[in-house]
């Protein structure tokens, strides 16, 4: 069921629209350092793990550079498509790690076939969820807002279960929860 979400073009289009809206809000707010006007400064990405060909918008990360002399700092808005500087799409990191739990050799080979993710990469992502993510200020603050206690040793699968809606809506809800971690100031540690 979950991998089917990643095989639908409408899902990627939704994430791209959400990222565009986030970028528009960031640009309208101006430079967070000096208040100056922001210019587009998109940078190249080579997203991995998609089950279909992505549109041209996926080869660039939305970002801005301050127009003021003496500042010129980069502002990169939160993203639902990318998890920080990682090569794999954020949805792939969430879903492949969720599917990895209780993995059998058959399931591991299926994940590799579907997403091109090596077993070592899956294990690194798993450690990130279990050791790093649960220590972030973001998770400590958001965990308290969930109606039911989440079994942290099973993350990210319990997060997908805690949100209502279609599989698409549930994945997007988890990506929105993670969005603050997708920027340099978002406290993301190595995946």
Q: Which two tokens stand for residue 173?
A: 């809800």
Contact 85, 189 (CB under 8 A): no
Element containing residue 190 per DSSP (H, E) = none
pTM comes to 0.87
Q: Which pLDDT score is estimated for 78?
A: 94
Cα four-point dihedral sign 5, 11, 12, 15: negative
pLDDT band at 1 (very low <50, low <70, confident <90, very high): low
Per domain, the residue ranges of the chain are 2-186
For 73-120, the pLDDT digits (tens) are: 999 999 999 998 888 999 999 988 887 665 567 777 777 888 888 888
Distance CA 9, CA 17 (A): 12
pLDDT-above-90 percentage for the chain:
49
Rounded mean pLDDT of the chain?
87
The pLDDT of residue 188 is 45
pLDDT score of 128: 92
pLDDT of residue 55: 78
Comparing 176 with 109, the larger pLDDT belongs to 176
Which pLDDT score is estimated for 116?
Answer: 86
Rounded average pLDDT over 143-169: 87
- The dihedral region occupied by 70, where left means phi > 0, alpha psi between -120 and 50, and beta the remainder, is left
pLDDT at 189: 44
Q: Is the pLDDT of residue 60 over 70?
A: yes
- Tell me if 11 sits within 8 A of 50, measured CB to CB: no
Q: What is the mean pLDDT of residues 8-21?
A: 93
């Amino acid at each position: 069921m979950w991998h089917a979400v990643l095989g639908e073009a409408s899902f990627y289009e939704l994430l791209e629209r959400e990222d565009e809206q986030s970028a528009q809000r960031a640009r309208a707010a101006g430079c967070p350092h000096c208040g100056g006007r922001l210019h587009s400064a998109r940078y190249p990405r080579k997203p991995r793990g998609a089950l279909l060909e992505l549109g041209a918008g996926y080869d660039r990360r939305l970002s801005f550079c301050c127009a003021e002399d003496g500042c010129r700092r980069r502002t990169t808005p939160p993203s639902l498509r990318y998890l920080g500087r990682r090569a794999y799409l954020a949805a792939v990191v969430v879903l492949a790690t969720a599917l990895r739990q209780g993995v059998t050799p058959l399931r591991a080979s299926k994940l590799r076939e579907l997403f091109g993710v090596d077993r070592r990469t899956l294990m690194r992502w798993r450690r990130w969820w279990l050791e790093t993510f649960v220590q972030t200020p973001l998770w400590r603050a958001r965990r308290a807002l969930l109606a039911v206690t989440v079994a942290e040793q099973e993350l990210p699968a319990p997060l997908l279960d805690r949100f209502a809606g279609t599989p698409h809506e549930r994945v997007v809800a988890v990506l929105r929860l993670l969005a603050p971690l997708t920027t340099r100031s978002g406290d993301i540690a190595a995946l």
